[in-house]
A and B are shown apart, each in its own frame.
Chain A
Amino acid sequence: MDKIQLGEFIKSIDQNLEIKEGKQYTEVTLPPSKMYSLAKQLKEREEAQFDYLFCLTGVDYGQDMGVVYHLRSTIYDHVVVLKTRTSDREHPQLDSVADIWETANFHEREVFDLLGIKFANHPDLRRLFLDNSWGFPLRKDYVDDINIVTK
């Protein structure tokens, strides 16, 4: 499907999603509660079959924190980008997609490690690179007088 058909297809799943044509790919912004069901639909529906999650990025937007998923279909070769964000900076919580795409297992652990976003239903959510005494370095308000040199 090309970009226009993709947009219509996603609209047909759920009317209220915000769909934008980015410079490269179709971007869909949605609240965290709808994330998991849309992801499952995108993987399983015949016309979509997004079976390859090729990038899972955690982003700190300043006020909110969120995750960006890049999905590709190996059969139809179309790409869609899903974005969610949550404004709860104390205990951010999102749904895990590790049972849909296995690669999300390690990526979500990395996001948890560096940003502190917890994923519900993740099989094994532990910190990946750092140990438990570190904060969350990739956050914009992370302060570390010893290790970070600010000009």
Chain B
Amino acid sequence: MEEKVKNITTDEQQEYVINMGPQHPSTHGVLRLVVSLKGEIVISVQPHIGYIHRGIEKMCESITYPQIIHLTDRMDYLSAHINNEAVCLNVEKALEVDIPDRVKVIRTIMSELTRIQSHQLWWASFGMDLGGLTCFFYGLRDREKILDIFEETCGGRMLISYNCPGGVMYDIHPNFQKRVKDFIKYFRKILPEYDQLLSGNVIFHERSKGIGKLTLEDAISYGITGPSGRASGFSCDVRKHEPYSAYDRINFKEILHTGGDTYYRYIARIDEMWESMNIIEQLIDNIPEGPYAVKMKPVIKLPEGEYYQRVETARGELGVYIISDGNKNPYRIKFRSPNFVNLSVLNHISKGFKIADLVAIGGSLDLVIPDIDR
């Protein structure tokens, strides 16, 4: 097992090895980066992961399908709702169940709200990493408003487990529509403030333009999806290519830029927040009436076969691959997580930049570590 290990860190030239250890303010989770430097220039970055590996895929082989949903919350916890939706859609597709329109619209609205709150947290921590500590408070202050909406309807703030196979767990709260509309009105005025604080700042431009450039071929070859991939021109939005839930009946743009550096990854996410607000506005007034769930059998058994479902989380394409042998537990379930793939490109795009840039690049890739380790 050890023969193939090419130990880059100790031999060869005089390289200065620094450990950005598992506890570090800017890696946003337990990620260990072993960085070899020459002076201030980064030569290579080796990520060591597994600090939060909980064996979710192995655990899922002994629990039932509705129970899996609660585990998917804890993978990429900032897109919790979208993760749940992936498993539910897969199960519903396998059982060939027709989902009522009301459920589809509710799921879409919640997904877009999840996307906005995930990007708000990303903006807050990205600003903080670069030194503009005020961004942290502004981003989180606005995120609280969305979390209050979630709490009223679903009972939970971040890990909501609102979806279940067949629909959603409870109907939306009567205040839901009004609160969402108020939030959209409020946030439309606030988002330009974010631009004033960070996007338009000359220091920020110096720190992010030209840093960590990812070309289109590399994005496809490494499989980088989500806003990081779309900033390099890779058209990979699952909501456009394989629409699910209510995405086929609304108008929205896929945000594509061709710059590929940290600045464009930043701009892609800000633009996504604007688009998400447009999507919610199209749906919030016309939530169709109907049941909020379809009655499913008490024990869900998927027919034998293999099923794959892709959804677009806030960070990229989440794929759920279920191999079923007819039992109530899946034989093998695989989560193709976007963060796992996004991490693999960190070494490639940080070569030749400085430590301070490494922090900026890591922040712009928007990694959530539990999703990497599962």
Contacts and interface: CB of A to CB of B under 8 A. Distances in A.
A129 B336 CA distance: 15
Nearest to A131: B50
Contacts of B317: 54
A31 interface: no
Given A23-B307, A52-B220, A137-B55, A128 B50 contact: yes
Most buried by B among A54, A60, A132, A137: A54
A74 B50 contact: no
Contacts of B220: 51-52, 74
B308 A70 contact: yes
A57 B221 contact: no
B5 to A, nearest CB: 5
Interface string A99-122: 001110111001000100000001
Most buried by B among A68, A102, A105, A110: A102
A8 interface: no
Contacts of B344: 102-103, 105-106
B223 to A, nearest CB: 4
Contacts of B307: 23-24
A77 B241 contact: yes
A61 B318 CA distance: 24
B244 interface: no
A124 B46 CA distance: 11
A73 to B, nearest CB: 10
Contacts of B222: 102-103
B321 interface: yes
Most buried by B among A127, A128, A132: A128
Interface residues of A, number: 37
Interface residues of chain A: helix, strand, loop or mixed (majority): loop
Nearest to B303: A23
A17 interface: no
B162 interface: no
Interface in B143-192: none
Interface in A38-79: 51-55, 57, 59-60, 68, 70, 74, 77
A25 interface: yes
Interface residues of B, number: 39
A137 B332 CA distance: 13
Given A52-B220, A54-B336, A129-B49, A59 B319 contact: no
B321 to A, nearest CB: 6
B341 interface: yes
A130 B334 contact: no
B235 A55 contact: no
Contacts of A138: 57-58
Contacts of B218: 102
Contacts of B58: 137-138
A46 to B, nearest CB: 17
B297 interface: no
Contact of A22 (B234, B235, B305, B336): B305
A60 B334 CA distance: 12
18 contacts: A23-B305, A23-B306, A25-B308, A53-B223, A54-B223, A54-B336, A55-B321, A59-B332, A101-B223, A102-B344, A103-B222, A105-B344, A106-B340, A107-B340, A129-B50, A129-B53, A130-B50, A138-B57
Interface of B: 1-2, 4-6, 49-50, 53, 55, 57-58, 218, 220-223, 234-236, 241, 305-308, 310, 317, 319, 321, 323, 332, 334, 336, 340-341, 343-345, 348, 373
Q: Which 5 A-B pairs have the closest CB atoms?
A: A129-B50, A103-B223, A129-B53, A106-B344, A57-B334
